[in-house]
A and B are shown apart, each in its own frame.
Chain A
């Protein structure tokens, strides 16, 4: 019997410039893949790509919407980068976002009818704390009971979703709302200030930018950032160096949860203005793509969040103008991740063909 022998070898010399260029290559390959799909579906590929990637941001409103969409994605992905860099697989950012939204929204309802400059900061802070607490659950279970954080954080998403369902259907539903599953509209001082008349972009973007800057400081300029990086590269080295692994696991989860909680509170006090069952179109899951597309790097994540946000807007415009099926947006997100992971593999591993050999059975 003969078999083709393939040997996979790890490369040790990956240049940083190529490392950061592969996401660009992945996006480029996605465009080509997208053009082929559009062609097969019977659309003019150039026109479809134009409606997908250019039309949505060809006016101020579109640009503002892009930022509205990218703001939560960027914020969550930044938080996730702390976890992923240190080999902690927090898959439950969606749940942390929802729980942050629940806590922040609860405070907003508590302040219903109150006006004052202090209302919004309290809401934002409580949303961040809510996300933090919810992220602590998988972290503590992991550190003290050795549970798998992927499973725990993922399953907690459903807990948060069902809790939100219960609250908006029952105790928190709008007393004048005919039992529809939604709360009252928050009062004016519980809403994120709108930056420009007629556009939806709100002050939440400053929170995101501040978080990006802080993250960069922590990751690249502090001892904690160094510890995170070392533990990600080699857990054994981290242990040998005497880093407190347990504390670090909790810290990265807390940071990640706070970011997701902030994103949740930004959505409900920003474009939504109340609590209902659909406060997030799975931002917490999409942010995982954003984090990896941005190479877990704060600046990279900013760009990645814009690209992924554009795939959402593009899917809508392409549907409105060409009646392209809505789910092409998700196909594009999938393709980006696929090409990125594929080129990563080729980047880090050499594939050697050793020719045909006789197998000795």
Chain B
């Protein structure tokens, strides 16, 4: 009996809440995993949010939301307080996002980097960062003197493995002798750990440092040590002006603006988006002229070819570490294979931590 009563009370409260918001203006909410000042992942998402504001749509953000029990409450509060579209920008928000989406069928949800779309009001989106890694590999292969490329990796998930492989394949193409050395730091953002990893790689002979983590620490270490480096997520050039050859930039702004307008105008549909250089979700910061104008031209051409589809980051023949064929000569890896990538290609040192 009391259960029905309670349900009644809750639904009345919900209705009051909804009716209070009935004519409220269209609002978009953002949930961030880090602080907006991280100059990496969250910073770029917040740049995207600012673009939505600039397009005349009101936005709200909540930063540094832990991926544990708190995420669900924050997402729910955004939904309850009249936000019509909510972007949850970290993998760990996948289950809470789907859970809240079930209870708010009229609110649209967009989850970054996840794979679960359990309700029709949940979309997922991510970027083909590996295309940027191919360009990095090309430059690294040409610029290295020691033939050792140092790679600071976060977690052994397909997205990170894909980046390592794409970079290694492109570097091998221009320099068959290169080796990729990896340090796993098991964090997305920890300047201390990242700089230790960068130093360790330099000590092991790496003269190129690249990172799949978000702080500016590795490029700063590289700058001090006098080796080349690449920025991650945002243009980190000003943190290591001599060392940085370019940065892979995550540009969420066009997608956020497009989806926000679609939701406002009622044309929003569920989808799974995976955009790359072509659509501009992955962009490259200006190339460092220190690498010579010939190489800059080469890389710019490669960037155009990747964007147009003339070149693919994973073109066969591709072998795994043991020499088994992964992608046959003449064909390219399909998205399914890329999405679940779980082995290193030949030329990467070590094993994937399991």
Contact = CB atoms under 8 A, between A and B. Distances in A.
A322 to B, nearest CB: 10
Interface in B42-93: 60-64, 66-70, 72-74, 76-78, 80-81, 91-92
Given A169-B353, A198-B103, A316-B62, A281 B68 contact: yes
A183 to B, nearest CB: 12
A248 interface: no
A61 B76 contact: yes
B155 A169 contact: yes
A273 B73 CA distance: 15
A61 B67 CA distance: 20
B9 A272 contact: no
For chain B, the bracket of interface size reads: 35 or more
Contacts of B29: 320
A321 B78 CA distance: 9
B326 interface: no
A118 interface: no
A319 B62 contact: yes
A278 B81 contact: no
A61 B61 CA distance: 21
A40 interface: no
A200 B72 contact: yes
Interface in A166-221: 169-171, 178-182, 185, 196-198, 200
Nearest to B78: A320
A317 interface: yes
Contact of B64 (A197, A321, A326): A326
A68 B95 CA distance: 18
Contacts of B354: 170-171
Contacts, number: 96
B290 interface: no
Given A178-B340, A181-B155, A320 B81 contact: yes
B316 interface: no
A271 interface: yes
Contacts of B66: 278, 281
A60 interface: yes
A59 interface: yes
Given A178-B115, A326-B62, A326-B64, A316 B158 contact: no
Given A60-B9, A316-B77, A326-B62, A178 B68 contact: no
B225 interface: no
A179 B160 CA distance: 10
B6 A196 contact: yes
Given A281-B66, A323-B60, A198 B155 contact: no
B3 interface: yes
Interface residues of A, number: 40
B10 interface: yes
B337 interface: no
Interface centre among B6, B69, B157, B353 (most CB of A within 10 A): B69
Interface in B120-156: 155-156
A316 B60 contact: no
A197 B29 CA distance: 26
Given A170-B354, A320-B81, A179 B92 contact: no
A149 interface: no
B274 interface: no
B153 to A, nearest CB: 12
Contacts of B9: 60
B62 A180 contact: no
Given A316-B73, A323-B61, A179 B157 contact: yes
Interface in A280-302: 280-281
B10 A320 contact: no
Nearest to B159: A178
Contact of A271 (B67, B72, B156): B72
Given A169-B156, A320-B60, A320-B78, A197 B69 contact: no
A279 interface: yes
A196 B354 CA distance: 39
B62 A320 contact: yes
B310 interface: no
Contacts of B10: 60-61, 197-198
Interface centre among A169, A178, A279 (most CB of B within 10 A): A178
Contacts of A170: 353-354
A180 B68 contact: no
A94 interface: no
Contacts of A281: 66, 68-70
B175 interface: no
Contacts of A323: 60-61
Nearest to B160: A179
B197 to A, nearest CB: 15
A326 B342 contact: no
A278 B67 contact: yes
A138 B81 CA distance: 46
A290 B81 CA distance: 30
17 contacts: A61-B80, A169-B186, A169-B353, A179-B156, A181-B186, A196-B6, A197-B3, A197-B6, A267-B68, A267-B69, A271-B69, A278-B66, A281-B70, A316-B73, A316-B77, A320-B29, A327-B64
Interface of B: 3, 6-7, 9-10, 13, 17, 29, 60-64, 66-70, 72-74, 76-78, 80-81, 91-92, 95, 103, 115, 155-158, 161, 186, 340, 342, 352-354
Interface of A: 59-61, 65, 68, 165, 169-171, 178-182, 185, 196-198, 200, 267, 270-273, 276-281, 312-313, 316-317, 319-321, 323, 326-327
Given A196-B6, A197-B10, 18 more contacts: A59-B17, A60-B10, A61-B10, A61-B80, A165-B186, A171-B354, A178-B115, A179-B157, A179-B342, A198-B103, A267-B69, A270-B69, A276-B67, A277-B67, A313-B73, A317-B77, A319-B62, A320-B60
